[in-house]
Amino acid sequence: MYTEIIRIIEGALKSDTGKVMSYANLLVENLRKDGDNKTADRIESVLTKKRINSVFSDQLINAPVDQESRLTMADVLLPEANMHEVIFSESMHNTINTFISTVQHRNKLLKAGIELNASLLLYGPPGCGKTTIAKFIAHRLQLPLVIARLDSLISSLLGNTAKNIRRIFDFASSRPCILFLDEFDAIGKARDDQHELGELKRVINSLLQNIDEYTAAGNILITATNHHELLDKAIWRRFSYIVDVTKPDKKAISQLLYSSLSQFKNNILEDSKKEELAAESMSGLSFSEVKTIFNNTISKGIIQDKEEIVLEDILTQLFLFRNNNKHDTALLAKFLEENGCSKPAIAQYLGISYRQATNILDKK
């Protein structure tokens, strides 16, 4: 409970009623989880003003705005009650679970004299689930996710950008939450970049200082970038946990396939060869691209009242995805054959005779 007590004291010293109330209620909830209802009742009796039934007070929704553009600088997402299954590679899964476990046991670690730096950097190509990971962590920890909107955080007046950064960190540190800085490279570029102005380099220095203060106080920080090569070297040293969010391997694609199709009649999941063909065909795609193809397959099957989803349905959606939705029967037939479909199956699926299918597939 040390973290909550420290936050309450900080809020009191700054006359920040919202911070005091938020962390006092979080302390009450944690005391009840530990079975200390007597202390929890005593604290609640002190909170004589309007009871905040959750640590997610109304103040949390009122995120700061940029003074120049008046745009909201952050989106606040409450943790999803029933989040769908999230699929990671084994290495990602281990690091993410270790990060979550460290946060969950921070009071025990503090009691043992171990300093906690709850910071996580996610990097990798677009569409591989960095934002989904942040939401998953928020769900597991049951904390709101404050997503900084970098398009409004970076002001045309660079002097305001440093102020905006400070306001975002102050906002997040004043209540129980996870601060998530997406597209982190937009403000974390290397300071030796000759194309950047001196003022922007001072902004980066301000960012580093805010990160140090924020994490040193035991707050939770997650950042994500598609361009890790642009990050200043000093950025990497600020993070205790770093995850390379890669594209899904065959095993992960098979897991996505199962989670997508398990509720629908299909001829794929019970046939290991067809399942392997489906997974192999999507090698090199991102998680979001694979999900899009599976969703399109299921949606079309529902719209057309199909009794069963077959391998050819998935491969057809993959073909359309790769060809900008341009349908060409001959090219589709060749694509199906290249991905393991037999000539009889292709003929039946396309509604043509076996002779027609043979002529199309044998034509150079």
Residue 363 lies in a domain: no
Tokens 């890790």 correspond to 228
Q: Which of 9-13, 136-140, 224-228, 256-260 has the lowest mean pLDDT?
A: 9-13
For residue 315, is it within any domain? no
Residue that is written with structure tokens 């992960």 in the block: 252
* Residues 1, 109 within the same domain: no
Q: Are residues 147 and 185 in the same domain?
A: yes
Over the chain, what HEC string results?
Answer: CHHHHHHHHHHHHCCCHHHHHHHHHHHHHHHHHCCCHHHHHHHHHHCCCCCCCCCCCHHHHCCCECCCCCCECEEEECCCCCCCCCCCCHHHHHHHHHHHHHHHCHHHHHHCCCCCCCEEEEECCCCCCHHHHHHHHHHHHCCCEEEECHHHHCCCCHHHHHHHHHHHHHHHHCCCCEEEECCHHHCCECCCCCCCCHHHHHHHHHHHHHHHHHHHCCCEEEEEECCHHHECHHHHCCCCEEEECCCCCHHHHHHHHHHHHCCCCECCCCCHHHHHHHHHHCCCCCHHHHHHHHHHHHHHHHHCCCCCECHHHHHHHHHHHHCCCCCCHHHHHHHHHHCCCCHHHHHHHHCCCHHHHHHHHHCC
> Of the segments 37-46, 152-161, 256-265, which one has the largest average pLDDT value?
256-265
The pLDDT-based confidence of 53 (bands split at 50, 70, 90) is: very low
For 5-15, b where at least 16 C-beta lie within 10 A, e where not — what string?
Answer: eebbebbeeee
Confirm whether 47 is domain-assigned.
yes
Q: Which domain holds residue 44?
A: 1-58
Domain for residue 348, yes or no?
no
Residue 356: inside a domain: no
| Residue whose C-alpha is closest to residue 210's, from 173, 236, 178 | 173
Query: What mean pLDDT is reported for the chain?
Result: 82
Query: Does 236 lie in the same domain as 259?
Result: no
- Give yes or no: residues 228 and 270 share one domain: no
Do 147 and 272 have their domain in common?
Answer: no
Domain boundary residue, one of 308, 343, 359 = 308
The answer to the question of residue 139 being in a domain is yes
Q: Are residues 129 and 227 in the same domain?
A: yes
Note whether 149 and 205 are same-domain residues. Answer: yes
229 and 279 inside one domain: no
- Quick one: which of 296, 286, 10 has its CA closest to 175? 10
Q: Count structural domains, the chain.
A: 3
Residue 216 lies in a domain: yes
* Whole-number Cα distances in Å, 324 to 301, 321, 335: 20, 6, 15
Gap between the Cα atoms of 294 and 269, Å rounded: 13
Whether residues 173 and 124 share a domain: the answer is yes
What's the pLDDT band for 107 if we cut at 50, 70, 90? confident
Q: Which residues pair with 180 in a beta bridge?
A: 147, 222
**How sure is the predictor about 231, in pLDDT bands with cuts at 50, 70 and 90?**
confident
- Is 237 found in the same domain as 132? yes
What pLDDT shows up at residue 299? 94
Region 180-199 average pLDDT = 66
Give the confidence band of 273 by pLDDT, cuts at 50, 70, 90: very high
Please indicate, yes or no, if residue 364 is contained in any of the structural domains: no
Average pLDDT over residues 137-145: 92
